[in-house]
């Protein structure tokens, strides 16, 4: 399958045009919408989501990942092979955590270019055709790059920030819950937020954090919106305290 991870949104033509290319070039391959609302123009925050949610898919999956504020500039186009999955997208740190957490990752710079390449929509014109080629089992012209190519070594292993606000107003952090003390509180927006296992474990209207279904520490309010109740947004800092 091909999995879409982008900040293109569902309003407007962008996601639809990308999917049209995929269906035209690889009509027999299922296309899964994972994120169309990844952190906008924020490859760093998106990198922690991609590493966590990409790992849910089986080997052989092609992940078309595009959060690309530098589109049309000098950044490279990458193909990353990690734990049997293929990641296609820009060289701007988006694959840093995927590469770091994999036992081994191979990185290549995509050298293929279409006959017509717009300056502002490489997701449609470059990355989508490459993802379709890979999903069909075709080879893609590329050049191997060393393991340190395009790395962001100064980024932390876990990001102490809000990286996503979901449909319910829950605030996902870039922290893996397994890396936190069991009794840790999360300090956010001037509040010390306790841990709970489930929403029903706290009274209605109470804030808590929990390990979400993909292993991230997530801040929520039972029967409420954490983003509104606590004033949280993508980029808000958090801190774990035992």
Mark whether 99 and 179 lie in a shared domain. Answer: no
Mark whether 165 and 138 lie in a shared domain. Answer: no
Domain count for the chain = 2
**Confidence (pLDDT) at 92:** 98
Would you say residue 154 lies in a domain?
A: no
Residue 202 confidence class, pLDDT cut points 50, 70, 90:
very high
pLDDT tens by residue, 42-101: 999 999 999 999 999 999 999 999 999 999 999 999 999 999 999 999 999 999 999 999
Question: For the residues 8-31, what does the mean pLDDT come to?
Answer: 97
Would you say residue 121 lies in a domain?
A: yes
**Confidence (pLDDT) at 139:** 96
**Confidence (pLDDT) at 150:** 95
Dihedral angle, C-alpha 24, 51, 151, 46, nearest 10 °: 80
Mark whether 65 and 138 lie in a shared domain. Answer: yes
pLDDT tens by residue, 131-181: 999 999 999 999 999 999 999 999 999 999 999 999 999 999 999 999 999
Question: For the residues 30-50, what does the mean pLDDT come to?
Answer: 98
**Confidence (pLDDT) at 133:** 98
Where does residue 27 rank: exposed (0-12), middle (13-18), buried (19+ CB within 10 A)?
exposed
Would you say residue 52 lies in a domain?
A: yes
CATH code, domain carrying 14: 3.40.50.10790
Would you say residue 51 lies in a domain?
A: yes
Q: Where are the alpha helices (DSSP H) in 92-239?
A: 96-101, 122, 128-136, 226-230
Question: For the residues 99-115, what does the mean pLDDT come to?
Answer: 97
pLDDT higher than threshold 90 for residue 112: yes
CATH code, domain carrying 188: 2.40.30.90
Domain that holds residue 223: 159-241
Would you say residue 152 lies in a domain?
A: no
Mark whether 23 and 114 lie in a shared domain. Answer: yes
CA 190 – CA 54 distance, rounded (Å)? 32
Residue 242 confidence class, pLDDT cut points 50, 70, 90:
confident
Question: For the residues 186-208, what does the mean pLDDT come to?
Answer: 97
Would you say residue 101 lies in a domain?
A: yes
pTM for the model: 0.96
Mark whether 224 and 165 lie in a shared domain. Answer: yes
CA 17 – CA 20 distance, rounded (Å)? 5
CB 207 within 8 A of CB 226: yes
CA 187 – CA 166 distance, rounded (Å)? 20
Question: For the residues 99-107, what does the mean pLDDT come to?
Answer: 97
């Amino acid at each position: 399958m091909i999995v879409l991870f982008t900040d293109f949104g569902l309003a407007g033509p962008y996601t639809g045009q990308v999917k049209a290319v995929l269906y035209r070039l690889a009509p027999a391959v299922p296309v899964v919408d994972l994120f169309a609302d990844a952190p906008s123009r924020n490859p760093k925050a998106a990198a922690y989501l991609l590493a966590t949610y990409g790992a849910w898919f089986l080997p052989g999956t092609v992940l078309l990942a595009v959060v690309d504020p530098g589109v049309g500039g000098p950044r490279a186009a990458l193909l990353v092979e990690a734990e049997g999955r293929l990641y296609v997208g820009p060289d701007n740190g988006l694959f840093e955590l995927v590469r770091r957490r994999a036992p081994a990752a191979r990185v290549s710079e995509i050298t293929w270019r279409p006959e017509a390449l717009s300056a502002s929509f490489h997701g449609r014109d470059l990355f989508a055709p490459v993802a379709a080629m890979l999903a069909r089992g075709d080879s893609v012209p590329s050049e191997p790059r060393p393991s340190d190519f395009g790395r962001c070594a100064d980024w932390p292993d876990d990001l102490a920030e809000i990286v996503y606000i979901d449909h319910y107003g829950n605030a996902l952090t870039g922290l893996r819950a397994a890396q936190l003390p069991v009794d840790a509180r999360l300090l956010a927006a001037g509040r010390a937020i306790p841990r709970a296992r489930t929403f029903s474990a706290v009274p209605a209207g109470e804030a808590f954090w929990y390990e979400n279904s993909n292993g991230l520490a997530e801040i929520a309010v039972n029967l409420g919106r954490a983003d509104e109740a606590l004033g949280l947004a993508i980029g808000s800092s958090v801190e774990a305290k035992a």
